Amino acid sequence: MTHNVLVVDDEPKLCDLLASALSQNGITVFTAGNGLHALKVLEVEDIDLVITDWRMPGMDGPQLLAEIKSRFPQLPVIVMTAYSTVKNAVQSMRNGAFDYIAKPFDIDELDITVSKALQFRDILKDNQRMRAELDEHRQIDSLIGDSPSFRRVLHAIDSVRESNATILLTGESGTGKEMVARAIHKHGNRADKPFVAVNCAAIPEGLLESEMFGHRKGAFTGAVADRVGRFMQADKGTLFLDEIGEMPLPLQAKILRALQERIIEPVGDPRERKVDVRVIAATNKNLLEAVANKEFREDLYYRLNVFPIPLPALRERIEDIAPLARHFAHTLGATAGKRITGFSPEALQAMARYSWPGNIRELQNCVERATIVASGAVIEDHDLPAYLFASAPAAGNAILSEGTRVPPDLEAALAEVEKAYILAALAQSNGVQAAAAQLIGISERSFWYRLKKLGIHVDKIIR
């Protein structure tokens, strides 16, 4: 392995001597006549070891050592001194020097000390690399699946993660849109900066502008202090706008300006602020339909849709159900203090037959329940929730097979299918309407409208 060593000394002859001696061992040597020059070299070159004199004009050895430990904490430093007192040696080691050598020094002694320092540097680099790989694998493990439809998602993530392009994630509720957004951020060029997530549907309309852009104290009733908005919180990082399709039209214009001009204006503050944010938006709505219905701005849609990534429903990636279930069982079992080794064939078959209207989120909830009730290390079919074995309603049940008599009233038939879905979702969510709406991928407002239209009374549903 080739190493780069920086020699710092105000005596050019000594620098030349050390460069000649070290280069014989295949080391590339850089030299600097003082501490300030050395810091400039460190900023542009990949240096593995610094050898610096103790006494130099301007920035001396101890000062340079302190700067290196502050800016490059894992870079080993060897201190040279003609004043080889125990006090100097001990002080340099306490301040973070790897070792010291005394002038005049023996070349063989120098070689041994340099060799040890470079070995130490190599170990640190290997540890950093392994930690980075482990972190990457952990993150990739959270995106589990090898189906063709999910491989396309992984390929899209790999293509866009290093860019700053705005991304639009689409797909049914529970398909893992936030998980994908976090993976893009984690593996992108902003990984060491903030990731800020906002659920646009969960914030009251009157507070959404303040939540996004911040406000000044006294801007409105209840604004008792200045507030930093989500755009500023995510500055230099990633802002994830979940449920963007639920954003009110008046605020959409301000979001559009923020995306186009990278400028925001807090509520009650006329001063504009520049922001550098990479935006990832997500929705389970058909935004083109919303545009056609004047519910979503067309210009904002095209600004968001720079790099679209559609996420498949779980029923479209049946081969991924088993590995996802095993992953959830392993992690959830460990949390619950249980060692789950897998699923019986009957349990896997039951999960493969089910349509999963709530997608990955529903699968995770199902496995969590099964993990709790399982008496052994293997989850059996009787450990799974009863609704997985109910006859209604699978996605395919709504499609008429060849030879089936076509019902005379299409609207009535569709209403029956819609009612069956809603009743199943309410049963799975124990009557919690917000959770049921998530399971079938619609907003709470739309869910309440359907309950009223179909004459469904939640308090009469047997739970």
Q: Is there a single domain that holds both residue 307 and residue 287?
A: yes
Residues facing residue 31 across a β-bridge = 7
Chain center to CA of 339: 28
Q: Is there a single domain that holds both residue 318 and residue 300?
A: no
How many domains does the structure of the chain reveal?
A: 4
Residue that the structure tokens 């010291």 belong to? 100
Q: What is the pLDDT of residue 86?
A: 60
**CATH number of the CATH domain containing 424:** 1.10.10.60
Q: Is there a single domain that holds both residue 301 and residue 184?
A: yes
Q: Is there a single domain that holds both residue 356 and residue 408?
A: no
φ, ψ of residue 265 to 5 degrees: the values are -135, 105
Q: Is there a single domain that holds both residue 156 and residue 302?
A: yes
Q: Is there a single domain that holds both residue 190 and residue 308?
A: yes
Burial 157-188 (b: 16+ CB within 10 A, else e): beebbeeeebbbbbbbbbbbbbbbbbbbbbbb
Q: Encode pLDDT of 308-318 as tens digits.
A: 999 999 999 99
Count the residues in the chain.
463
Question: Where in 311-352 does DSSP place strands (E)?
Answer: 342-343
The total of other beta-carbon atoms located within 10 Å of residue 44's CB is: 8
Burial 111-135 (b: 16+ CB within 10 A, else e): eebbeebbebbeeeeeeeeeeeeee
Q: What is the pLDDT of residue 436?
A: 80
Rounded distance between C-alpha atoms, residue 280 and residue 420, angstroms: 34
- Helix, strand, or coil (residue 397): helix
Q: Is there a single domain that holds both residue 345 and residue 459?
A: no
Q: Which of 59, 61, 12 has its CA nearest to residue 32?
A: 12
Q: Is there a single domain that holds both residue 174 and residue 308?
A: yes
Q: Encode pLDDT of 170-185 as tens digits.
A: 999 999 999 999 999 9
Rounded distance between C-alpha atoms, residue 463 and residue 461, angstroms: 6
Question: Where in 17-127 does DSSP place strands (E)?
Answer: 28-32, 49-53, 77-81, 99-102
Q: What is the pLDDT of residue 240?
A: 96
**Ramachandran quadrant class, 234 (left: phi over 0; alpha: psi -120 to 50; beta: rest):** alpha
Token pair belonging to 116: 């040890």
Q: What is the pLDDT of residue 209?
A: 85
Token pair belonging to 208: 């959404």
Instruction: Please give the residue range of the domain that contains residue 384.
Output: 314-389
Q: Is there a single domain that holds both residue 70 and residue 23?
A: yes
Rounded distance between C-alpha atoms, residue 199 and residue 311, angstroms: 18
Longest dimension (CA), the chain: 103
Q: Is residue 451 part of a domain?
A: yes
Q: Is residue 47 part of a domain?
A: yes
**CATH number of the CATH domain containing 65:** 3.40.50.2300
Q: Is residue 134 part of a domain?
A: no
Q: Which of 353, 350, 425, 454 has its CA nearest to residue 394?
A: 353
Q: What is the pLDDT of residue 326?
A: 92
Q: What is the pLDDT of residue 306?
A: 94
**CATH number of the CATH domain containing 146:** 3.40.50.300
Q: Is there a single domain that holds both residue 70 and residue 219?
A: no
Q: What is the pLDDT of residue 287?
A: 94
Q: Which segments of the chain have a pLDDT < 50?
A: 136-141, 391-404, 460-463
